[in-house]
């Protein structure tokens, strides 16, 4: 924990002094190291693995049977959806459609296709809408290989013929890259830092430190993927969290460095002091984030384990950069850290210097006084407001995005729209029923009849026996779409009532994309309490070690849960209920993506602990100086308000850049995290913390086994000047 007189002989002090004195060597090592790991990581890194199946769920067992006994059904497929205003048999329409089919069939990545002109079951009765399945030859095709197929279909639409191309590979190929979104976040962070410091040099150091750390961290994530496979959104999540914490950690250390210079320290001493105080807190805060992320392993899902390890690797690199690369930069900057300042800011400082120290009270101090005069009312009002924000989370629905929630200008959505019109909305939510054939009990006809007669089923296919005679399958399509709550209820009804009765002594497994998403969501819900418990317990342990107080650690846990709950609630209102959703780039109302709340919790709990560490460690310093809790809270807020506000603004700017991107799940993640950080830096830190600490008084510092010591509540000389931000 930061103290008034930092140690100058500890490991951190020695590291800071070495990096300062050998700054050229340290900087060169970082540059060479980042370039090398970036080349290796981005060239030879592991491919993404988006498989969320597995385990003992019905969908996983159905998929296992299909993979084992139906090799002809392996691999990904695309679906060509066709709509002709005059019918597909119109000569002009037919010529266009057959040209597209021939071009798709000629592609080296597609297998043999069956034209709707060859199979009447692929065409609606009015002959206006048709479909065609396009098998892909390789399951590991990348976006660039599938993109030409997307372009063929997109360019052929027109003149009374509308074409769409559906399927997971088509959706990914059509989804544009994140593009300039991260650049927007970096520019926003630079502006915030320039406003906070008023110096181009001070602004640049956190940005450069954060960017170098994130580049190295992302490359390391790709390499770690060989040991722990991760999904394709891991890089985006790691970039968001890495940029946020990387810039923020450098910001905290740089602020302490500038304070030390103002107090008369030379640059080397200021660097050592900054690393042994703020740098110490950064290591604690970063460790908390890493532990919180690794809590995802408790979900026992391969996909989430990959995200946890990959994002943790990026955070670890940002921590190392903060305590090694930044001291080297400070060695180059020295007293020039405030160079290229805004003249008007200098004038303000000079005018502020004419005011007596006793009268220079910051806005944060005055605000803390207001809250502390009415602590119970402040705590109740803030708590009630946060609970009201969290209330919508009680109706949260989890699912995985499909074509129906994609932007309306995508041909994957066009495909969904055409197929829904011609074959029903349930065409995009096929149910696959599979069973093993043993002892002659493989007759699925009674099961097919029972499923077909179930309310909510549009139609079912005849059963099909595998070539080895050991398994049988059939498919059914619901009347409702992939995202509809009625479809989820139908899956449960089939599993719980229809199949056990119709199958008799046999066991029929219900799988398919929709059933798999349902199982994934339910498995997430069953393991979520364990993950939350582990994250809270480990974070509390670290915070107790840092601040040496059980009371404050428990306060932090409760407040963090309130801010996360509020973020969940607002996210549900915007994404699921549609409040202002279109203004934020969400094409339609949709359930929350299964993995979004799962990832948000450890990330936000860790980040909230960051702010708690920096605020409470300063409050603890002031309490040890004065023995007065009220003054300690007021001064602690005053000394951290500016830096925490700037850090939160940077986090919000970085996370909100995800909303500018194309992926609806990543948009949800960024929006939810931005909301949580905003709540945490305002309502939590500026209202609940001072109110609750005022109510607890001396009990704030309770620690079992520690004897109370009497502290003289008299600030040392020069305390007023040191308390200013």
The predicted structure's pLDDT at residue 439: 43
Q: What is the mean pLDDT of residues 610-619?
A: 77
Residue 718's pLDDT band, with cuts at 50, 70 and 90, is very low
Phi-psi region of 301 (alpha: psi -120 to 50; beta: other; left: phi over 0): beta
Out of 301-310, 566-575, 709-718, the most confident range is: 566-575
| Tens digits of residue pLDDT in 531-553 | 888 888 887 887 788 778 888 88
When comparing pLDDT for 618 and 399, which is higher?
399
Q: Which residue has the higher pLDDT, 700 or 19?
A: 19
Helical residues (DSSP H) of 225-353, grouped into ranges = 234-262, 267-274, 280-294, 302-333, 343-353
Could you write out the three-class secondary structure of 179-193?
Answer: CCHHHHHHHHHHHHH
Instruction: Compute the distance between CA of residue 133 and CA of residue 78 in angstroms, rounded to an integer.
Output: 6
β-strand pairing of 431-436 with 398-399: unpaired
DSSP 473: E
- Residue 362 scores a pLDDT above 80: no
Instruction: Quote the CA–CA distance of 682 and 587 in Å, as a whole number.
Output: 30
CA-to-CA separations, 577 to 486, 517, 696, in angstroms, rounded? 17, 20, 39
CB 306 within 8 A of CB 266: no
Q: Would you state the structure tokens that stand for residue 636, as one six-digit string? A: 């602690």
What pLDDT does 509 receive? Answer: 92
Question: What's the DSSP call for residue 108?
Answer: T
pLDDT at 386: 95
Q: Which of 661, 595, 153 is nearest to 413 (CA)?
A: 153
Task: Give me the pLDDT at residue 179, please.
Answer: 60
pLDDT reported for residue 228: 87
87-117 pLDDT per residue, tens: 999 999 999 999 999 999 999 999 888 899 9
> What pLDDT, on the 0 to 100 scale, is given for residue 53?
61
* Bigger pLDDT: 60 vs 177: 60
Phi then psi for residue 111, to 5 deg, are -90, -170
Count of H-run helices and E-run strands, the chain = 26, 10
> Would you state the structure tokens that stand for residue 496, as one six-digit string?
């719980």
For a pLDDT cut of 90, what percent of the chain falls above it?
Answer: 35
Over the chain, what is the mean pLDDT? 84
Residue 724 has pLDDT above 70, yes or no: no
pLDDT of residue 112: 87
Euclidean distance between CA atoms 678 and 628, whole angstroms: 29
Cut 0.95: pTM above it:
no
The residue ranking higher by pLDDT, 234 or 24, is 24
Domains and CATH numbers, the chain: 1-44+198-354 (1.20.1640.10), 77-166 (3.30.70.1150), 367-405+528-725 (1.20.1640.10), 406-517 (3.30.70)
Query: pLDDT at residue 631 above 90?
Result: no
Nearest to 501 by CA among 439, 561, 450: 450
Q: What pLDDT band is residue 82 in, cutting at 50, 70 and 90?
A: very high
């Amino acid at each position: 924990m930061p103290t008034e007189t930092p140690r100058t002989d500890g490991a951190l002090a020695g590291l800071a002094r070495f990096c300062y004195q050998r700054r050229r060597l340290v900087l060169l090592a970082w540059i060479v190291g980042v370039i090398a790991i970036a080349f290796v990581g981005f060239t030879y890194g592991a491919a993404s693995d988006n498989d969320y199946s597995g385990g003992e769920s019905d969908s996983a067992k159905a998929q296992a049977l299909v993979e084992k006994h139906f090799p002809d059904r392996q691999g990904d497929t695309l679906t060509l959806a066709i709509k002709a205003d005059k019918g597909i048999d119109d000569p002009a329409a037919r010529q266009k459609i057959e040209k597209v089919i021939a071009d798709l069939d000629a592609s080296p990545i597609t297998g043999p296709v069956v034209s709707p002109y060859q199979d009447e079951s692929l065409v609606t009765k009015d002959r206006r809408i048709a479909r065609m399945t396009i098998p892909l030859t390789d399951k590991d095709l990348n976006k660039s290989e599938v993109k030409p197929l997307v372009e063929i279909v997109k360019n052929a639409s027109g003149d009374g013929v509308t074409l769409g191309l559906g399927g997971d590979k088509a959706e990914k190929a059509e989804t544009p890259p994140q593009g300039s979104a991260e650049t927007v976040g970096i520019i926003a962070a630079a502006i915030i830092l320039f406003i906070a410091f008023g110096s181009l040099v001070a602004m640049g150091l956190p940005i450069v430190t954060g960017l170098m750390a994130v580049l190295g961290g992302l490359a390391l994530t790709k390499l770690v993927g060989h040991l722990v496979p991760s999904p394709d959104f891991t890089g985006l999540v790691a970039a968001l969290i890495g940029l946020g914490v990387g810039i923020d950690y450098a910001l905290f250390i740089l602020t302490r460095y500038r304070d030390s210079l103002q107090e008369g320290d030379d640059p080397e001493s200021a660097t050592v002091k900054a690393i042994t105080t703020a740098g110490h807190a950064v290591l604690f805060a970063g460790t908390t984030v890493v532990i919180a992320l690794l809590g995802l392993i408790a979900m026992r899902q391969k996909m989430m384990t990959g995200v946890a390890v990959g994002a943790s690797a990026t955070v670890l690199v940002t921590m190392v950069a903060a305590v090694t690369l930044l001291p080297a930069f400070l060695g180059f900057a020295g007293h020039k850290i405030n160079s290229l300042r805004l003249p008007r800011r200098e004038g303000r400082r000079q005018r502020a210097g004419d005011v007596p120290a006793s009268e220079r009270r910051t806005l944060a101090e005055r605000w803390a006084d207001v809250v502390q005069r009415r602590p119970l009312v402040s705590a109740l009002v803030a708590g009630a407001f946060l609970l009201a924000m969290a209330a919508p989370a009680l109706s949260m629905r989890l699912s995985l995005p499909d074509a129906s929630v994609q932007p309306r200008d995508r041909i994957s959505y066009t495909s969904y729209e055409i197929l829904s019109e011609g074959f029903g909305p349930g065409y995009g939510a096929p149910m696959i029923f599979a069973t093993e054939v043993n002892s002659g009990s493989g007759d699925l006809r009674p099961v097919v009849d029972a499923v077909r007669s179930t309310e909510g089923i549009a139609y079912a296919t005849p059963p099909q026996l595998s070539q080895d005679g050991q398994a049988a399958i059939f498919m059914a399509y619901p009347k409702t779409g992939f995202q509809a709550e009625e479809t989820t209820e139908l899956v449960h009804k089939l599993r719980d009532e229809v199949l056990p009765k119709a199958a008799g002594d046999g066991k029929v497994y219900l799988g398919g994309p929709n059933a798999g998403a349902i199982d994934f969501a339910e498995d997430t819900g069953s393991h979520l309490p364990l993950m939350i418990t582990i994250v809270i317990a480990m974070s509390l342990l670290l915070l107790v070690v840092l601040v040496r107080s059980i009371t404050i650690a428990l306060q932090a846990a409760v407040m963090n849960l309130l801010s996360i709950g509020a973020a969940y609630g607002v996210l549900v209102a915007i994404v699921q209920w549609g409040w202002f959703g279109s203004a934020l780039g969400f094409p339609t109302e949709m359930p929350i993506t299964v993995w979004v709340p799962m990832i948000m919790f450890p990330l936000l709990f860790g980040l909230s602990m960051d702010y708690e560490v920096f605020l409470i460690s300063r409050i603890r310093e002031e309490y040890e100086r004065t023995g007065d809790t009220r003054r300690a809270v007021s001064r602690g807020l005053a000394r951290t308000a500016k830096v925490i506000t700037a850090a939160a603004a940077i986090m919000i700017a970085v996370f909100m850049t995800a909303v500018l991107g194309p992926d609806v799940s990543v948009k949800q993640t960024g929006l939810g995290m931005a909301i949580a950080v905003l709540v945490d830096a305002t309502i939590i830190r500026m209202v609940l913390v001072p109110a609750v600490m005022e109510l607890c008084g001396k009990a704030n510092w309770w620690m079992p086994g520690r004897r109370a010591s009497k502290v003289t509540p008299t600030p040392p000389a020069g305390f007023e000047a040191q308390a200013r931000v």
